Every structure is written in structure tokens, then in C-alpha cells.
């Protein structure tokens, strides 16, 4: 288990324009990362779907890009809709994409289904059941498959939760962010403890006991005291899994974030203190740290996967899902397939048009090479377990790979005390753990900072942000 570590992710207060700085490090939820996505022919996407291994289970992801109200901290792809008609229209296109995709893949076995957004809870109960009914017709959902829904408590209802129970949903992820009322008002996301408790009672009634809480540190008007109180209140409810994310203030990318004044944001030292106190409090309350930003109670499948050595990382973060293929549905959704990554258009009009005529809505992506697959595993080893044995992995993948450049950078990290080595296995030390993603970038062949024109990996470790 990784030691508690600093999570140096942002440099404090931000101006309202993009700062002049090196590109931020990827989150390594994929490799190659989205930074390498370019124009992709829909025919490649179709070929990849048709070539999926026949007996291997797949995962499904459904993106529901609608919310009733805009949260000012949000960095997701979503649309604000005060009417249900656009959501209903989107569902029809989603069902068409599902039918078109299943015609290419055949009736595959499914081990994991995830509904994200936006706010999947914006779907009315009967529409969620209709969508799940079509999924069950198109694919074979395996016994024990995890079916997870991201929940906005403000758009939840007892009827919707009852529908989740009937459809086999067995995990929900609740967007808590912070329990402090002042912080909630500042980020335009007000949800009372009474509302949260009502939702939890509804879940219990239908047998949904796998509960995730999503928390955010570094929010405006947040303090060490308020984040600690939020964590203590979270622990009181005993969710089996917690994600602790750092707020990314990028108003040059998400214009609505300009509604949050930079003067209200904690500086880097305060952010670091918030992460440290939140992490320590979670551990004191019985949670175990996993990877970069996740925590789980004993018995949670994520912790079990970590202990078995099968923990993975995908676009939803850390996961216990062991499927090698993930098929994404909906505007902006990304599929991770053996042939490569394929992302659907974010243009809603184009999405409706292409699904309406039975064409691939994919517009971006990247093909994956054999070398990419090896590097992806090396980075996954570091992100999930903070250690890596490059030579052993290369033999496992049957590849002859020259690690000369990587070993030079790893040598610098050893000298600095950020890593230690035993045999051919390199492990990140407690001193190096604040720079997890920077260390992962040692193996990233696409990241310009790792080429000979800019070989100073230690400088990057010391000064590049984690967020």
C-alpha cells in the first residue's frame, strides 16, 4: 500500500487567462493520452469494433451530457437544460448508436457498465429502464457485473432509485464535493445533509450498498477546518470508496469558472495542507489509500483488486474492471479498444445526424502500437502500485525495447532519492510520491519534455504540477 503522500497539483491562485507554462502533465487515464488524439476515420472505429476478441467480456460507458444547473467548478462536457425534450431527443440518438454498435460487435458479454456525465440522474425513471432494457437485448450482462451510476443528489428521486434497483444497479457515485454551506454557495452546488441522507436511505431500500463519495479539495472558501469536517461527515456515512480530487481552476478553458474569483482560491501551500489533512483523516477513519487520489474501506472491490494485483486505471479513474475493451456511447464518449482509442463528436447536432443515418459518430482518436501497449502497462504499474520492472514487462509482452533513455532518467531519480531499486524493479519512495505523474512521464514517448531537447526530468519533477 502506498504511503500517504503530497499531491502537488496546482500552483495556487490563477490569473483569468492561460498562463505561460509548459504543458500540464497528463492524468494517464490512457496511453497514448488524449493529447495524442487526432482526426480518426470512422471506418477504423468500425473495424476495431468488429475485431474484438470473441470470448472476452467488454465494458460499456454511457455519457449523459445534461445537467439541470451549472456547477461553477465543473470541468465536464455537459449542457444545461431546463427542459426535458433535449434529453429525450438525446436518448433516442443514444439508442440508435447502441443498436448500430451492437450490430458490429455482436452480442458480447459485458462485465461492467458505467453511466457518467453530466448528470445521468437527469434521465427519468422510465427512460433509464428503457435504456437498460435495450442494453440487455443487445448484450449479455454477466452475473456479478458492476452497474454504476454517477449521482447528482439534487436530481435524484425515489422513483429513479427504484428504477435503478429494478435494473440491477449495484454501485452509485455521489457528487458530494464539500458539505460546508459557504463552499457550496460559492460553487453554485447547494445540497443539504438531509438530502444526502434521503438518497442514502433510498439506496439502502433497493439494496444498493456500494456507495462512492466524490470530494474536492482546493475549492473557493474552503479551509483546512472545513475539509476536515467534510471528511469526518463523509466517514460517518461510511461510503465504501472515496475519490479525493483537486479542483482545477482553468477559466481560459471553462469560461463559467470565471464566476469563481481567483482571490477566493487557496494558495498552493493551503491546497497541500488540505490534501494532507483530508488524507490523514480518511486513514484515521479506517480507509486505505489507493493510487493517486482514491481511498477504500476493507471489502471494497477496488481494494480487493489492488491487493490481488489486478487494479487498473481508465477514463473513470481507478477501477477493478478487468475487461480489455471499453465501448463508449454518447457525445464526447471515448472507446478504449485493442486497436486504439476512438472519441465521439462533441457537436450535438453532428451526433444526432450521424447516429440517425447509422454512421460512426467518432471524429478523433489514435491507433495503438505494440510499443504503446507495453508503455501503457509500465505507466499503469506506476500509477497503481508505484513500482515498475521495465525488463520483466518487456519480456512478458515479447518485445525487445531499448530503455536507455528511461534508465538515464530513472538514474537521476534514484540519485535524488525519489526512487529506489531492487534487482530490476524500481519503486517510488515517499519523497518521490508527490511527483507520481511526473515520474510516469519518464516512459511517455510522446511527451516533448522527455526528448533529448529537454531531458531535465528532475526539474520537471520539482516544478511541474500534478493536477
pLDDT in tens, 120-140: 999 999 999 999 999 999 999
Task: Indicate if the pLDDT at residue 10 is higher than 60.
Answer: no
C-alpha cell at 19: 498562463
CA distances from 282 to 228, 288, 340, 354, 463 (A): 9, 8, 37, 46, 28
Q: Count Cβ atoms within 10 A of the Cβ of residue 436 and give its class: 0-12 exposed, 13-18 middle, 19 or more buried.
A: buried
Q: Which of 96-105, 192-201, 228-237, 267-276 has the lowest mean pLDDT?
A: 267-276
CA dihedral 259, 344, 243, 381 (to 10 degrees): -130
Confidence band (pLDDT; 50, 70, 90) for 8? very low
- What mean pLDDT do residues 385-389 have? 97
What H or E segment, with its residue span, contains residue 450?
none
* Residue 145, number of CB atoms within 10 A of its CB: 20
Would you state the pLDDT for residue 12?
Answer: 31
Q: Which of 5-19, 39-53, 209-223, 241-255 has the lowest mean pLDDT?
A: 5-19
- What mean pLDDT do residues 231-249 have? 95
- What mean pLDDT do residues 40-61 have? 95
For 389-402, how does the pLDDT look when each residue is reduced to its tens digit (9 = 90+)?
999 999 999 999 89
Would you state the pLDDT for residue 24?
Answer: 66
Would you state the pLDDT for residue 190?
Answer: 95
C-alpha cell at 113: 457498465
Task: Indicate if the pLDDT at residue 58 is higher than 90.
Answer: yes
Residue 346 to residue 63: CA distance in whole angstroms = 11
Q: Which of 11-20, 31-40, 61-70, 446-455 has the lowest mean pLDDT?
A: 11-20
The pTM of this model reads 0.90
Task: Indicate if the pLDDT at residue 191 is higher than 90.
Answer: yes
Would you state the pLDDT for residue 13?
Answer: 33
C-alpha cell at 206: 433497493
* Residue 394, number of CB atoms within 10 A of its CB: 18
Confidence band (pLDDT; 50, 70, 90) for 262? confident
Q: Which CATH class is domain 370-463?
A: mainly alpha
Beta strand ranges found along 41-194 (DSSP E): 58-64, 66-67, 79-80, 109-117, 140-151, 171-177
Residue 129 to residue 149: CA distance in whole angstroms = 13
Q: Report the largest interatomic distance among the alpha carbons of the chain, rounded to a whole angstrom.
A: 61
Contact (CB, 8 A) for 277 and 229: no
Distance of CA 115 to the CA centre of its chain: 12
Q: Where are the domains of the chain?
A: 37-329, 370-463
Would you state the pLDDT for residue 71?
Answer: 87
Beta strand 317-319 with 294-296 is unpaired
Residue 173 to residue 163: CA distance in whole angstroms = 16
For 163-188, how does the pLDDT look when each residue is reduced to its tens digit (9 = 90+)?
999 999 999 999 999 999 999 999 99
Mutual angle of helices 268-284 and 224-237, in 10-degree steps? 30
Contact (CB, 8 A) for 183 and 216: no
Task: Indicate if the pLDDT at residue 263 is higher than 90.
Answer: no
* Residue 417, number of CB atoms within 10 A of its CB: 11
Residue 96 to residue 115: CA distance in whole angstroms = 17
Q: Please enumerate in sequence order all residues whose Cβ is within 8 A of that of 177, keeping only pairs 6 or more positions apart, or say none.
A: 71, 73, 183, 184, 187, 189, 214, 215, 216, 219
Confidence band (pLDDT; 50, 70, 90) for 26? confident
Q: Which residue(s) pair with 215 in the sheet? A: 177, 244
Task: Indicate if the pLDDT at residue 53 is higher than 50.
Answer: yes
Confidence band (pLDDT; 50, 70, 90) for 462? low
Would you state the pLDDT for residue 418?
Answer: 94
Task: Indicate if the pLDDT at residue 458 is higher than 70.
Answer: no
Contact (CB, 8 A) for 57 and 109: yes
Confidence band (pLDDT; 50, 70, 90) for 459? low
Half-sphere CA count of 23, side-chain side, radius 13 A: 13
Whole-number average pLDDT of the chain: 90
Half-sphere CA count of 25, side-chain side, radius 13 A: 25
Q: Please enumerate in sequence order all residues whose Cβ is within 8 A of that of 149, keeping only pairs 6 or more positions apart, or say none.
A: 114, 115, 120, 121, 164, 169, 171, 172, 173
Q: Count Cβ atoms within 10 A of the Cβ of residue 137 and give its class: 0-12 exposed, 13-18 middle, 19 or more buried.
A: exposed
Architecture of the CATH domain 37-329: Alpha-Beta Barrel (3.20)
What H or E segment, with its residue span, contains residue 357?
none
Beta strand 425-428 with 387-388 is antiparallel
Task: Indicate if the pLDDT at residue 335 is higher than 60.
Answer: yes
Residue 213 to residue 176: CA distance in whole angstroms = 6
Amino acid at each position: 500500500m502506498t504511503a500517504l503522500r503530497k499531491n502537488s497539483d496546482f500552483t495556487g491562485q490563477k490569473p483569468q487567462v492561460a498562463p505561460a507554462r509548459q504543458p500540464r502533465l497528463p492524468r494517464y487515464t490512457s496511453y497514448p493520452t488524449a493529447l495524442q488524439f487526432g482526426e480518426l476515420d470512422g471506418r477504423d472505429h468500425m473495424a476495431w469494433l468488429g475485431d474484438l476478441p470473441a470470448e472476452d467480456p467488454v465494458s460499456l460507458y454511457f455519457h449523459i451530457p445534461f445537467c439541470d444547473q451549472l456547477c461553477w467548478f465543473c470541468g465536464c462536457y455537459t449542457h444545461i437544460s431546463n427542459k426535458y425534450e433535449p434529453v429525450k431527443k438525446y436518448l433516442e440518438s443514444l439508442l440508435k448508436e447502441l443498436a448500430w454498435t451492437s450490430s458490429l460487435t455482436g452480442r458480447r458479454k459485458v462485465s461492467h457498465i458505467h453511466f457518467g456525465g453530466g448528470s445521468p440522474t437527469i434521465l427519468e425513471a422510465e427512460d433509464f429502464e428503457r435504456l437498460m432494457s435495450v442494453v440487455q437485448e443487445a448484450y449479455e450482462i454477466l452475473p456479478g457485473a458492476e452497474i454504476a451510476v454517477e449521482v447528482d443528489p439534487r436530481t435524484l428521486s425515489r422513483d429513479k432509485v427504484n428504477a435503478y434497483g429494478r435494473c440491477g444497479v449495484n454501485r452509485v457515485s455521489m457528487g458530494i464535493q464539500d458539505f460546508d454551506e459557504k463552499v457550496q454557495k460559492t460553487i453554485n452546488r447547494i445540497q443539504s445533509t438531509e438530502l444526502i441522507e434521503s438518497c442514502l436511505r433510498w439506496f439502502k431500500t433497493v439494496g444498493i450498498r456500494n456507495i462512492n463519495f466524490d470530494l474536492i479539495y482546493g475549492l473557493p472558501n474552503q479551509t483546512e477546518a472545513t475539509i476536515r469536517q467534510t471528511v469526518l461527515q463523509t466517514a460517518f456515512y461510511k461510503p465504501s470508496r472515496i475519490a479525493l480530487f483537486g479542483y482545477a481552476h482553468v477559466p481560459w478553458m471553462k469560461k463559467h469558472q470565471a464566476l469563481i474569483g481567483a482571490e477566493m482560491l487557496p494558495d498552493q501551500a493551503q491546497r497541500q495542507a488540505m490534501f494532507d489533512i483530508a488524507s490523514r483523516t480518511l486513514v484515521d477513519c479506517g480507509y486505505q489509500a489507493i493510487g493517486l487520489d482514491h481511498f477504500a474501506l476493507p471489502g471494497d472491490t477496488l481494494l480487493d483488486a489492488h491487493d490481488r494485483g489486478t487494479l487498473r486505471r481508465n477514463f473513470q479513474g481507478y477501477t477493478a474492471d478487468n475487461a480489455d475493451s471499453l465501448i463508449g456511447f454518447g457525445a464526447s464518449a471515448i472507446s478504449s479498444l485493442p486497436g486504439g482509442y476512438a472519441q465521439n463528436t462533441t457537436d450535438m447536432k453532428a451526433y444526432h445526424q450521424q447516429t440517425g443515418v447509422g454512421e460512426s459518430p467518432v471524429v478523433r482518436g489514435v491507433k495503438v502500437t505494440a510499443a504503446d501497449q507495453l508503455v501503457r502497462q509500465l505507466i499503469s504499474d506506476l500509477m497503481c502500485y508505484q513500482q515498475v520492472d521495465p525488463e520483466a514487462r518487456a519480456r512478458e509482452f515479447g518485445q525487445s525495447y531499448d530503455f536507455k533513455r528511461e534508465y538515464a532518467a530513472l538514474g537521476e531519480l534514484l540519485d535524488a532519492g525519489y526512487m529506489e531499486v531492487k534487482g530490476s524493479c524500481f519503486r517510488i519512495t515517499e519523497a518521490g510520491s508527490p511527483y507520481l505523474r511526473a515520474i510516469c512521464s519518464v516512459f511517455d514517448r510522446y511527451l516533448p519534455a522527455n526528448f533529448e531537447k529537454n531531458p531535465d526530468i528532475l526539474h520537471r519533477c520539482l516544478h511541474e504540477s500534478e493536477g
